[in-house]
Structure 1
Amino acid sequence: MSIAVLSLILLVLLFAFLGSGLWVAFSLLGVGVAAMALFSNAPLGLVMATTFWGHSNSWALAALPLFIWMGEILFRSRLSEDMFTGLAPWMNRLPGQLLHVNVFACGIFAAVSGSSAATAATIGKLSIPELAKRGYPEQMVIGTLAGSATLGLLIPPSIILIVYGVATEQSIARLFVAGVLPGLLLVSLFVGYVVIWALLNRKSLPLEDMRVSFAERLKRSRRLLPVVLLITGVIGSIYAGIASPTDAAAVGVVLALLLSWRSGTLSWESFRDGLMSATVTSCMIAFILAGASFLTVAIGFTGIPRVLAEWIGSLGLSTFVLLAALTVFFVVLGCFLDGISVVVLTASVIMPMVLQAGIDPLWFGIFLVIVVEMSQITPPVGFNLFVLQSLTGRDILTVARAALPFFVLMIVALVVITLVPAIVTYLPERM
Structure 2
Amino acid sequence: MSDIAVGLTGLGTIFGLIALRVPIGVALITVSFGGLWVLLGWRVAWGALAVVPYQFSANWVLSSVPMFLLLGFVCYHAELTRGLFRAARVWTASLPGGLAIAAIFGSAGFAAVCGSSLACSAAMGRIAVPEMTANRYSAELATGTVAVAGTIGALIPPSILLILYGVIAQAPVTELFLAGVSVGLLTALGYVVVVLVRVWLNPALAPPMDERLTRTERLASLVETWPILTVMIAIFGGLFSGVFTPTEAGAVGAFLSVLVALVRRSLSWGKFRLAVEETLTTTAALILIGVGASLLTRFLALSGAGDYLASAVLALGADPTVLLFGIIVMYLVLGMFLEPIGALLLTMPIVLPIIDDLSWSLIWFGIVLTKLLEIGMLTPPIGMNVFVIKSVVGDLVDTGTIFRGVLWFLVMDLAILVLISQVPQIVLYLPQAVG
The question of a shared fold, defined as TM-score above 0.5 by the shorter chain, is answered with yes
The code of the aligned residue for 1:178 comes to A
Structure 2: 5+ residue runs without aligned partners?
none
State the 1:345 CA deviation.
Answer: 0.4
Contact 1:25–1:291 at 8 Å: present in 2 too?
yes
C-alpha spacing 1:307/1:88, structure 2 compared with 1 (3 Å): same
**Distance in 1 separating the partners of 2:342 and 2:176:** 19
Identity of aligned residues (%): 32
**Distance in 2 separating the partners of 1:226 and 1:398:** 34
Q: Within 5 Å, give how 1:371-390 maps onto structure 2.
A: 371-390=372-391
**Distance in 2 separating the partners of 1:397 and 1:3:** 46
- Give the aligned partner of residue 269 of structure 2: 268
The code of the aligned residue for 1:405 comes to W
- Give the aligned partner of residue 11 of structure 2: 11
Contact 1:40–1:302 at 8 Å: present in 2 too?
no
Answer yes or no: is 1:244 the counterpart of 2:237.
no
- Give the aligned partner of residue 69 of structure 2: 68
Contact 1:35–1:299 at 8 Å: present in 2 too?
no
Range with bigger deviation, 198-207 or 257-266: 198-207
Answer yes or no: is 1:305 the counterpart of 2:306.
yes
**Distance in 1 separating the partners of 2:204 and 2:73:** 39
SS in structure 2 at match of 1:337 = coil
- Give the aligned partner of residue 151 of structure 2: 150
- Give the aligned partner of residue 206 of structure 1: 207
Runs of 4+ in 1 over 4 A off after TM superposition: 2-5
State the 1:352 CA deviation.
Answer: 0.4
- Give the aligned partner of residue 297 of structure 2: 296
State the 1:239 CA deviation.
Answer: 2.0
- Give the aligned partner of residue 56 of structure 1: 57
**Distance in 2 separating the partners of 1:366 and 1:417:** 9
Q: Within 5 Å, give how 1:167-246 maps onto structure 2.
A: 167-246=168-247
State the 1:48 CA deviation.
Answer: 2.4
State the 1:93 CA deviation.
Answer: 2.8
TM-score (norm: length of structure 1): 0.96
Computed over aligned residues only, the root mean square deviation of the Cα atoms, in angstroms, reads 1.6
- Give the aligned partner of residue 361 of structure 2: 360
Contact 2:122–2:388 at 8 Å: present in 1 too?
yes
**Distance in 2 separating the partners of 1:16 and 1:414:** 29
- Give the aligned partner of residue 418 of structure 1: 421
Range with bigger deviation, 181-190 or 400-409: 400-409
C-alpha spacing 1:38/1:395, structure 2 compared with 1 (3 Å): farther
- Give the aligned partner of residue 326 of structure 1: 327
Write out per-residue CA displacement over residues 61-96 of structure 1, whole angstroms, 9 at most, x where no aligned residue. 100000000001101113232122211110023222
**Distance in 2 separating the partners of 1:65 and 1:389:** 26
Q: What is the aligned length? A: 431
The code of the aligned residue for 1:408 comes to V
Structure 1: 5+ residue runs without aligned partners?
none
**Distance in 2 separating the partners of 1:340 and 1:169:** 16
**Distance in 2 separating the partners of 1:311 and 1:21:** 29
**Distance in 2 separating the partners of 1:24 and 1:218:** 49
**Distance in 2 separating the partners of 1:21 and 1:194:** 36
SS in structure 1 at match of 2:382 = coil
**Distance in 2 separating the partners of 1:37 and 1:3:** 12
The code of the aligned residue for 2:249 comes to A
Contact 1:238–1:245 at 8 Å: present in 2 too?
yes
**Distance in 2 separating the partners of 1:75 and 1:256:** 10
**Distance in 1 separating the partners of 2:383 and 2:226:** 33
Contact 1:112–1:157 at 8 Å: present in 2 too?
yes
